[in-house]
């Protein structure tokens, strides 16, 4: 049997903030929050309020909500949790909050790998060790098991400077204090029509259509 690690009924839209940190460096957490009145826009609160990659955070939330665990051991002692890297100061913490609520909606601890695909996990208020087949720790950019390594903000930042539809761009202008260049996308000159052969035969309709399809090239129009 697989147990749900997330609260029953919790939806993606309910999660308004995530705190991510390694137990060994709890003071170096990454705090992600959803922008007010937005379904999929997030920012990194403690990293210049940088925008979060929408797909990254969307996939991460989907993964969390679908987490299921197979029970490995129940009623594990505090010392026993250490062998799974699930003590508070060892594990990777994922804490989720609902909007305007100070108490967490969920708090998961992710431990070391059980095998090359699975990791150990538990809830913060529980002493049952689960095995799960997804690793929030790896998805947050922490691939080794160094519990003293803190998550980095760069994993979450949307680094897109401008979204361009490349096929629709027909002109680019570059300006510097000492140079001005203009590049333009223009239709290539059409080659002269082929002369009819001695037999008087003309090309087929398909050949004509192929020849009439415009081709484009980029040229230096100025500079």
Q: How far is residue 57's CA from residue 15's CA, in Å, rounded to a whole number?
A: 11
pTM for this predicted structure = 0.79
Contact yes or no for 170/185 (Cβ under 8 A): yes
pLDDT (0 to 100) of residue 145: 80
Q: How far is residue 61's CA from residue 46's CA, in Å, rounded to a whole number?
A: 20
- Give phi and psi for 123, each to the nearest 5: -90, 155
Q: How far is residue 157's CA from residue 52's CA, in Å, rounded to a whole number?
A: 5
pLDDT (0 to 100) of residue 220: 97
Read off the DSSP letter of residue 29. Answer: -
pLDDT (0 to 100) of residue 100: 94
Residues of the chain with pLDDT under 70: 193-211
pLDDT (0 to 100) of residue 201: 58
pLDDT (0 to 100) of residue 213: 82
b/e string for 93-106 if b means 16 or more Cβ within 10 A?
bbbbbbeeeeebbb
Is 147 in a helix, a strand, or coil? Answer: coil
- Closest to 24 (Cα-Cα) out of 134, 109, 126: 109
Contact yes or no for 32/45 (Cβ under 8 A): yes
Average pLDDT in the chain: 92
The total of other beta-carbon atoms located within 10 Å of residue 1's CB is: 6
């Amino acid at each position: 049997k697989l147990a749900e690690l997330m609260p029953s009924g919790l939806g993606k839209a309910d999660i308004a903030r995530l705190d991510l940190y390694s137990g060994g460096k709890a003071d170096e957490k990454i705090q992600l929050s959803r922008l007010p009145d937005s379904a999929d826009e997030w920012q990194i609160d403690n990293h210049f309020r940088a925008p979060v990659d929408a797909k990254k955070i969307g996939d991460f939330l989907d993964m969390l909500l679908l987490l299921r665990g197979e029970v490995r051991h129940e009623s594990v002692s505090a010392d026993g949790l250490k062998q799974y890297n699930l003590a508070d100061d060892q594990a990777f913490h994922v804490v989720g909050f609902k909007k305007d609520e100070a108490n967490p909606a969920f708090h998961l601890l992710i431990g070391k790998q059980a095998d090359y695909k699975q990791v150990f996990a538990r809830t913060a208020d529980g002493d049952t060790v689960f095995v799960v087949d997804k690793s929030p720790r790896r998805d947050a950019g922490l691939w080794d098991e160094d519990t003293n390594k803190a998550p980095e903000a760069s994993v979450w930042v949307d680094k897109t400077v401008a979204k361009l539809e490349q096929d629709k761009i027909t002109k680019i202008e570059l300006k510097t204090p000492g140079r001005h260049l203009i590049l333009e996308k223009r239709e290539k000159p059409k080659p002269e029509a082929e002369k009819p052969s001695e037999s008087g035969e003309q090309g087929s309709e398909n050949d004509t259509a192929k020849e009439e399809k415009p081709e484009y090239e980029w040229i230096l129009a100025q500079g």
